[in-house]
Amino acid sequence: MILVDTSIIVAWLDRMHPDHLACTRSLERWAEKETLAVSSVTFAELAVGARTREAVEEDLKGFDRVDLDFDSAWRAGLAFRRYRPIARSDQPVLPDFLIRGQAASLGCRHLTNDHRRTKAWPDIDFIYPDC
Amino acid sequence: MTTILSVRIDPGLAERAKKASGGNLSAFVRAAIEDKVEAVELANGNPMIVHIKARAGTWDGYISGEELLRKTRL
């Protein structure tokens, strides 16, 4: 199973996103080989901008759904606390850490378009659209 | 490189195809075959890939995808 990050889902859905094609191709490529999953945290993030829940439900049809569990939440909080920004402009936010906490708990690969803060998660096998 | 493909069709349909093609029947039939083949290949494929192709670019939101990520991820 591959846990797909919100950064991939959003770029796939929005054709105006600069990485739309790369992220769509990446989803197609990995769907040939593995089960794709999304986090309930991604569902929350999509709710920030989507017009209807029904459309998001339809978008995520076919993806396995991973609820945020306590172990993942704890890992995320610890990593968030330990994280030291490399620049003043680097202000980490929790959703990113929550999803990565889930990938770490599940021991699955994590497909993301966000290359930042990966060193905070040495135990996660990150994969990117250009891989 | 191309190949010649002969098919038998109903004369009425042939006449309609000639009219609809606007004078370029070969290009018209070629495009129709391409569309049909692609649709069948998609339908026979991995349903998740069919879903990914079908929903690509269908975002309907109050804000763009990039703006959404700026809000949730900075």
> Could you list the residue range(s) of the whole structural domain that residue B58 is in?
11-72
Position B66 in a domain: yes
Separation in Å, CA B19 to CA B8, B23, B36: 18, 7, 20
Whether B47 contacts chain A with CB within 8 A: yes
Contacts of B46 in chain A (CB under 8 A): 31-32
Residue B26 lies in a domain: yes
Per the domain annotation, does B1 fall within a domain?
Answer: no
Q: What pLDDT is attached to residue A84?
A: 82
Q: Say yes or no: B70 contacts chain A, CB-CB below 8 A.
A: no
The answer to whether residue B44 scores a pLDDT higher than 80 is no
Instruction: Show residues of chain B in contact with A46, CB under 8 Å.
Output: 68
Q: Which fold has domain A2-127?
A: Rossmann fold (3.40.50)
Q: pLDDT at position A106, please?
A: 94
Please spell the DSSP secondary structure of A55-103, one letter per residue: HHHHHTTTSEEEPPPHHHHHHHHHHHHH---SSTT----HHHHHHHHHH
- Asked if the Cβ–Cβ distance from B68 to A31 is below 8 Å, we say no
Higher model confidence: residue B45 or residue B52? Answer: B52
* SS3 at position A126: strand
d(CA B63, CA A55): 15
Output the pLDDT for position B69: 92
Task: Tell me, yes or no, if the pTM score tops 0.90.
Answer: no
pLDDT category, B11, cuts 50, 70, 90?
Answer: confident
Number of domains forming the structure of chain B: 1
If you average pLDDT over residues A89-96, what whole number do you get?
80
Domain boundaries, chain A: 2-127
Using a CB-CB distance cutoff of 8 angstroms, which residues of chain A are in contact with residue B61?
14, 49-51
B42 CB neighbours in chain A (<8 A) are none
- pLDDT of res. B40: 66
What are the tens digits of pLDDT across the range A41-84?
999 999 999 999 999 999 999 999 999 999 999 999 999 888 88
Confidence of residue B4 (pLDDT cuts 50, 70, 90): confident
Is residue B23 included in any domain, yes or no?
Answer: yes
Express each pLDDT in A96-121 by its tens digit. Answer: 899 999 999 999 999 999 988 888 88
Among A32-41, A54-63, B9-18, whose mean pLDDT is lowest? B9-18
How far CA A86 is from CA of A78, A79, A115, in Å, comes to 18, 15, 13
Chain A residues with at least one Cβ partner in B under 8 Å: 6-7, 10-18, 20, 24, 27-28, 31-32, 36, 45-46, 48-52, 55, 58-59, 61-62, 91-93, 95-96, 114
Rounded Cα distance, B36 and B56, in Å: 20
